[in-house]
Each structure stands twice: as structure tokens, then as C-alpha cells.
Amino acid sequence: MSTQQYLTVTALTKYIKRKFDADPYLERVFLTGEVSNYRKRPNHQYFSIKDDNSVIAAVMYRGEFNRLKFKLEDGMKVLVIGRVNVYEPSGSYNIVVEHMEPDGIGALYQAYSELKERLSKEGLFSRPKKTLPKYPKKIAIVTSQSGAVIKDIMTTIKRRYPIVQLVLYPTVVQGKDSAQSIVTNLKRINETEDFDLAIIGRGGGSIEDLWSFNEEAVIRQIVAMNIPIISSVGHETDTTLSDLAADVRAATPTAAAELSVPVLAEVLLSIQKEEQRLYQVMRNKVAIGSEKLNRLMHSYVFRQPKRLYEGHLMRVDQLTSNLQTVAMKMMEQQTHNHHRLELQLRNVNPLNQVRILIETWKNADEDLHETMLRYMDKQKQELSQKMVSLDMLSPLKIMNRGYAYIQDENGILKSVDDAKLNQTVEIHLLDGNLKAKIIEIKENEHD
């Protein structure tokens, strides 16, 4: 058999891969199984899907994995949509997962539970709630402009409290753009800063229909609001994460409207009752004040006003007398102290001490003058002796007796060893210098 009939491994693998890629049944495969050998990786995810008898390798690229609405875990039963692919380097096949959701529980409900748990740990649902204003003047409503929600809210508020101002922010409450629409309108309300509270809501529906109110961005914006939020999403049995994050949850839009405003008739009746009570209280206060005034008018103080200050006049006289007595005693004591100090001052007259100090200073000055003269004479004698000694040591005095010194370019010659034949030297005498050349060097003879 010719060797040309043999295929390379690469050629066979490429052929099989083309078969897989061209097979329409393998282009979109729906699988159910259990996740195995899974551990989260930074980019793409690699794991296996198995049942009781078989196992298939699976890969899920980062883009598809980031769109998962639940947390993937090892051992989880899943529903998978993907395509079968041959990996040429190892000759193995796998399934490239394009979509995945848990088997036996809806993916949205799984995502709802996981997000609820994570945000609960952050404390977003247990934070202190804002109190609803008792008498709001302006209310913002975030809902669809064509739904029954806005009609129910407007009808209820108009019936209960028609003096409040309602401002509708038309909002997409279902679909892919709904979450962004809700967040945008809530931010606009927050920036306006003249609303007393806001109501967000929509009618009932499936979890898919209500999912916008479970989005994390919506929850965080509700928490960030400066004014109280009433949430009315779905029916009474529906509970969204927006309901948990809001300051107040209403079962229906009508209930939200009732919670947001009081009944005007009841408010007016309450005002009338308070007005009557205030009138009665003021009337009683006036009556009590009038009675007290009449009693004071008939008091002896007004009939005999001098009696009001007679006691005070006696007290003033007594205090004046006491003050005079105390002042006299203090004056006598100060006079006595003055005489005593005057006698002490005469005994220690400073003029006597000044005279003694002046005499002492004169004697000290004379002693100092004599001491300085003796010191100067002594210093002059010592200076004369040192000048004589210095003159005896002066090299000029020695040279005056006929001595000289010889110097070359390196310095003074101290020995015949420092001299060289034919060397030019300079001889320094007392009254000038001589230039000479050495023509003979003779050393002294030693015994």
C-alpha cells in the first residue's frame, strides 16, 4: 500500500473538525447536566458537564460568563445552550457554552436571591428609613404615563388631598431600557431638591416583567435619594428588591397614594378642633388673668403704696449705719499702720547707708588706682626684659658679627650634603645678597 494513502494526525483532526462545524445538529445543542471540575478563572471558564454515564468538556468565554445572572458552582444542575467544537491541538471535543441557567429554578429567581443576599450584607435593606412628611406639598411619581398606576394614584390623591402638586416623570418600567430610565428619573428628582417625597411603581406581572425593579443600579439609586421613597411594584404578593430598599412599601398604587397624603377633610376637621381648643385655652387664660388683675387691683399695695417700700427703707438705714461703722474702723486701722510704718522708716533712714557706701566707694577707687599703677610698672619691666632677650636671639644681630646663610632654589643649605658642584647659590649678608657658584666641596675631618 502506498504511503500516500496514509493521513497525518493533523489532517484527520481538521477533517473531523470540519465535519463538526458543518453538522447543523451540532451547531446549536441543548444540554442538561451537572457542572463538574469548576473553579473560577480570571478570564474564560473551563469545566465539565456530566450525567450518570458520560462527561463532556465545556468552555464559556468571558463575555457570556459575565452575563450570567447567578453564581455558578461546582455540582450545580444546569441547562446549557451551545455548539460542539473540536479542539485540534489535543484532538478532543468540547461544548462552547453560549447560554446557561440553573435547572429546576429560574435563572432570574436565582439572580434575585443572590443579589438580595449580597445587598443585605451591605446593609442596604436594614438602613434607617426616612419618615414620610405629614403634609407634603409636592410629590414626584416615577411610572409609565399610560398605565393604570398613574390613574389610580391621581384619582386617590385628588380625592384625599387635592391641594398637593403631583409631577409625573414618564418612565419605561419594563424591558431592557427600563432600569436606566428609572435611575435617570430618580437622579433628576434628586437634583431638583424641591420634592417632599417620591412614588415609584408599576402594575403586576411576572418576575421577568418586574425585573427592572430588581436591578442593582435601581436599588442603589433608591438608597441614595435625599427624600423618602414609596415603592408600589406589582401586586401584594410580589416583593421586589426596590420594595425592600424603599423607605415605605405599598401593596398597591392606591395604597401608595393613601400613604403619601392625609385626608384633607380630616386635616381641616383637626384644624377646626385645634382652633376651638386654642380658643378655649386662650379664653381660660384671659379669664384667669382678669381675675388675677382684679385681685391685685384691690391689694393693699395699690391702696397704700408706701407700705411696699417701708421695710426696704428701714433696711437701707440699717445698712448705711453698718457701712459707716465699718468705714470708721478701717480708717482707724489704716492710720495706726501709717504711724507704725513712719517710725520704722525713720529708724532705717537710707541717707546714712548712702553716706557709708560713698566712703567705701572712694576708698576702693583709690586702692584700685594704686593697684593699676603697680601692675603697669610690673608689665613694663617684663616687656623690657623680653625685648632684650628677643634682641639677643635675633638672626640680624648674629649676622652683624659676620655671619651669613646660603640658600638655593630648594631652601637654606644646612650641610655640605645639600650642596652640588657648579650649583648656583645665593649668599645672604647683613646688608645684601651675593650670587655664587660652588667650585669645591670639602667636608670637615672627624677624629
In the chain, where are the structural domains located?
8-105, 131-262, 265-323, 405-437
* Nearest partner of 97 among 43, 37, 28, judged by Cα: 28
Annotation: CATH topology of 8-105: OB fold (Dihydrolipoamide Acetyltransferase, E2P) (2.40.50)
Amino acid letter at 186?
L
Structure confidence by residue, pLDDT tens digits, 189-209: 999 889 999 999 888 776 777
d(CA 171, CA 146): 10
Helix, strand counts (H, E) of the chain:
14, 14
Structure confidence by residue, pLDDT tens digits, 159-173: 999 999 999 999 999
Instruction: Say yes or no to pLDDT of 152 above 70.
Output: yes
Is 90 within 8 Å of 72 (Cβ atoms)? no
Instruction: Say yes or no to pLDDT of 300 above 70.
Output: no
Can you give the pLDDT at residue 164?
A: 95
Give the chain's radius of gyration (CA, Å). 59
Q: Would you state the cell numbers that stand for residue 231, as one nine-digit string?
A: 415603592
DSSP at 216: H
pTM over 0.85: no
Same fold, 8-105 and 131-262: no
d(CA 378, CA 392): 22
Q: Would strands 165-170 and 138-143 be described as parallel, antiparallel, or unpaired?
A: parallel
CA distances from 52 to 4, 75, 92, 298, 380 (A): 43, 13, 21, 110, 128
d(CA 104, CA 345): 117
d(CA 252, CA 233): 7
Structure confidence by residue, pLDDT tens digits, 207-230: 777 889 999 999 999 999 999 999
Is 120 within 8 Å of 126 (Cβ atoms)? yes
Can you give the pLDDT at residue 75?
A: 78
Instruction: Say yes or no to pLDDT of 447 above 60.
Output: no
Annotation: CATH topology of 131-262: Rossmann fold (3.40.50)
Can you give the pLDDT at residue 237?
A: 65
**What is the end-to-end Cα distance of the chain in Å, rounded?**
126
Structure confidence by residue, pLDDT tens digits, 49-91: 988 889 999 999 999 998 887 788 887 888 899 999 888 888 8
Can you give the pLDDT at residue 236?
A: 67
Instruction: Read off the pLDDT of each residue in 262-281 and give the average, rounded to a whole number.
Output: 92
d(CA 255, CA 248): 11
Q: Would you state the cell numbers that stand for residue 435, as one nine-digit string?
A: 650670587
Instruction: Say yes or no to pLDDT of 421 above 90.
Output: no
Share of the chain above pLDDT 70, in %: 95
Can you give the pLDDT at residue 2?
A: 60
Instruction: Say yes or no to pLDDT of 256 above 70.
Output: yes
Can you say whether the dihedral through the CA atoms of 275, 281, 283, 285 is positive or negative?
Answer: negative
